[in-house]
């Protein structure tokens, strides 16, 4: 199974009302604005989308609303983040029925599986759906490493097609490329090593801070793709103080606050998360305002395409 996934895929936020209910219409607006600004795909209900804060029915409602808003303009990939394989299969099948174009499949939550259990989990989901699957490797957050032995055991699973690499060690990109060539499409998944990931073979970037600065994110990837490395580096250096937020414990609150400062969405989050307060809140606002005041000059927005 092959996919044409490349460019900038923001992990979109899920908008929340004051009464803590899901604001489906505003979530649709946020997604539509991102597509108008040139992103080439969206990740629904990832970490930034607060996947694990919603119950099953809410997840299906959010995904259905996003699929409706996108209306086929770009691929919609949904996070599959569940406690066990049974629940993961249930949601994955619902996502397929709702019209998702792919799945971003995480390891099981809470329990840290042994390698053979992790392989079985991924196969158990993949065998029950026809959608292409991106595996999400983020050992600092989920305490589980999708290493080359695991990927080798999944080579023959045709619909496991991609890996979102969020390990801070950029050697992972080279190790996967060396071992598997083009078998797996690679995406950079940690904002502050995104450009390094592109240089080492990633075809795209699953990004958090794109929610606040989509045009700059698109131009960064476009500049890299056309060989304008000076421009790509200029944007990356300008962006870096904010990109570091994606590696922090309060990344969801920080990204949603940045989105609010830029007039693109609300900072409201679901408990147990709460909006940033005090010095941390002031620090993030100052960072966003400085970035907004010093934005680099961009070419006309166009879809972001990373060289494959």
Convert the pLDDT of each residue in 203-233 to its tens digit. Answer: 999 999 999 999 999 999 999 999 999 999 9
Active site residue 199: no
Q: Which of 22-26, 93-97, 137-141, 282-286 has the lowest average pLDDT?
A: 137-141
Could you say which of 3.30.300.30, 3.40.50.300, 3.20.20.70, 3.90.1150.10 is the CATH number of the domain covering 7-293? 3.20.20.70
Active site residue 136: yes
Query: Mean per-residue pLDDT for 85-108?
Result: 98
Convert the pLDDT of each residue in 28-68 to its tens digit. Answer: 999 999 999 999 999 999 999 999 999 999 999 999 999 99
**How is the chain split among helix, strand and coil, in percent rounded to 5?**
50, 10, 40
Cα–Cα distance measured from residue 22 to residue 275, given in angstroms and rounded to the nearest whole number: 16
pTM (2 decimals)? Answer: 0.95
**Residue 141's pLDDT band (boundaries 50, 70, 90)?**
confident
Query: Mean per-residue pLDDT for 273-299?
Result: 97
Q: What is the pLDDT of residue 299?
A: 78
- Catalytic residue, from 6, 59, 164, 256: name it: 164
**Residue 265's pLDDT band (boundaries 50, 70, 90)?**
very high
Query: Mean per-residue pLDDT for 111-136?
Result: 98
Domain ranges of the chain: 7-293
Pairing of strands 133-137, 102-105: parallel
- Catalytic residue, from 136, 142, 184, 236: name it: 136
By C-alpha distance, which of 214, 222, 247 is closest to 9? Answer: 214
């Amino acid at each position: 199974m092959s996919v044409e996934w490349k460019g900038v895929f923001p992990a979109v936020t899920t908008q929340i009302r004051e009464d803590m209910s899901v604001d489906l219409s505003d979530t649709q607006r946020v997604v539509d604005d991102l597509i108008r600004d040139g992103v080439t795909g969206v990740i629904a209900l990832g970490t930034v989308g607060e996947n694990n804060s919603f119950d099953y029915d809410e997840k299906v409602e959010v995904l259905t609303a996003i699929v409706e808003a996108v209306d086929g303009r770009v691929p919609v990939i949904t996070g599959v983040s569940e406690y066990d394989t049974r629940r993961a299969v249930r949601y994955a099948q619902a996502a397929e029925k709702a019209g998702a174009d792919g799945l971003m499949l995480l390891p099981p939550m809470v329990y840290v599986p042994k390698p053979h259990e992790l392989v079985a989990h991924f196969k158990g989901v993949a065998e029950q759906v026809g959608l292409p699957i991106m595996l999400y490797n983020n050992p600092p957050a989920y305490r589980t490493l999708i290493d080359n032995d695991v990927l080798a055991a999944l080579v023959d699973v045709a619909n496991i097609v991609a890996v979102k690499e969020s390990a801070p060690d950029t050697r992972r990109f080279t190790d996967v490329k060396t071992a598997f060539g083009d078998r797996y499409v690679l995406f950079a998944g940690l904002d502050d090593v995104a450009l390094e990931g592109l240089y080492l073979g990633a075809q795209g970037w699953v990004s958090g801070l794109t929610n606040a600065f989509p045009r700059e994110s698109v131009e960064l990837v476009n500049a890299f793709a056309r060989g304008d490395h000076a421009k790509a580096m200029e944007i990356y250096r300008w962006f870096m103080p904010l990109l570091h937020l994606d590696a922090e414990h309060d990344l969801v609150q920080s990204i949603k606050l940045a989105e609010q400062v830029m007039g693109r969405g609300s900072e409201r989050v679901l408990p147990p998360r709460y909006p940033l307060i005090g010095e941390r809140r002031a620090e993030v606002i100052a960072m966003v305002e400085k970035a907004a005041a010093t934005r680099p000059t961009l070419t006309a927005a166009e879809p972001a395409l990373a060289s494959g």
